[in-house]
Structure 1
């Protein structure tokens, strides 16, 4: 499929996804999205879709493309959750800025690996490890609120949610590792 056609599909999918909160805003009084929220969501969704399209084209098997999808989803969810509610405390907690390091590790690792499956696997595992380290550092800085201030935010919730997010990076790394094994097997048969 041509790159232009793929980009148009990403733009169309972004627009269709944004119709969901727009419809909710029209019919639900509690829907508090502003124009800025729609713009931010559009940029995040389109950026994630474009990233997937550009990187997935570099792979030659389904495992690679799936791994790219999982990695892009992990990055999207990390940014979205951090902007919406925060990963540690509320979205206004400055300690949440540390999670930008996870994205940097994944991005720099992918570039250094030249988007090759084995290197991408290592980059995603490094991102998962960075995620765990950032969570430990963030939790050592952050003091959980009292039960009366934010009863829904507790240490168990924070640790559980962050463990789930780190696991997504691990799944991506595992899929890239599988893509690497598949690719090397194909290369050996052709040689």
Structure 2
């Protein structure tokens, strides 16, 4: 693939990602017009907008740094995993409700992901290790929450912890795998 073609694909990918972010931000506004189940205020839109801006910015930066598709796929999955973990935690919580202070433990997973990306200079091999470590931390926090009975008051305990742990851990591992492929390809 020529450099010009590669740049064009990258530009299109970034445009699609930013367009998707705008669509996601508009989705609750549209839903509020049709149902009372969605009740967002200005603060909700502000927080969600900031989350989309940070996730979009991280994805944009990573796609500019990486070369091939495995790297870009790893970046997309990794950024989505972090975004999803924060979003679920703020919206409904993983350990009990969103108000349960034990949910702050998941900040460690985000710290590992962001810190590892910085320390590794976002190189594919380092990103693979970073996201594998994030998966280990995700599982450890879920296991700790279950062992200590954190969130027992939730009506869906322990399914909430087990389900979220499986979903987000799978995302971290998928990102780690894509970055491992990128590292083998020399990206």
TM range (shorter): 0.7 to 0.9
Deviation (angstroms), 1:104:
0.6
- Number of matched pairs: 179
Which among 84, 90, 102 is matched to residue 91 of structure 2?
84
* Alignment deviations for residues 169-191 of structure 1 (CA, whole Å, 9 cap, x no partner): 0110011000011117xxxxxxx
Aligned equivalent of 1:160: 163
Aligned residue for 1:47, secondary structure, equals helix
- For the aligned residue pairs, the C-alpha RMSD in angstroms reads 2.4
Aligned equivalent of 1:179: 182
* Alignment deviations for residues 25-76 of structure 1 (CA, whole Å, 9 cap, x no partner): 1221222111111111111112111110011111111000100000000000
The alignment's TM-score, normalised by the length of structure 2, stands at 0.86
Contact 2:125 2:180 in 1 (8 A): yes
Deviation (angstroms), 1:95:
0.1
Contact 1:88 1:95 in 2 (8 A): yes
Contact 1:10 1:50 in 2 (8 A): no
* Alignment deviations for residues 104-152 of structure 1 (CA, whole Å, 9 cap, x no partner): 111111111111111110000001001111222233251512xxxx43x
- Gaps of at least 5 residues in structure 2 are 1-6
Matches within 5 A, 1:143-158: 143-145=151-153, 150-151=154-155, 153-158=156-161
Aligned equivalent of 1:40: 47
Instruction: Give distance in 2, aligned partners of 1:64 and 1:8.
Output: 18
- Gaps of at least 5 residues in structure 1 are 185-191
Q: Single out whichever of 154-163 and 62-71 deviates more from structure 2.
A: 154-163
The alignment's TM-score, normalised by the length of structure 1, stands at 0.84
Instruction: Give distance in 1, aligned partners of 2:121 and 2:95.
Output: 33
Aligned equivalent of 1:116: 123
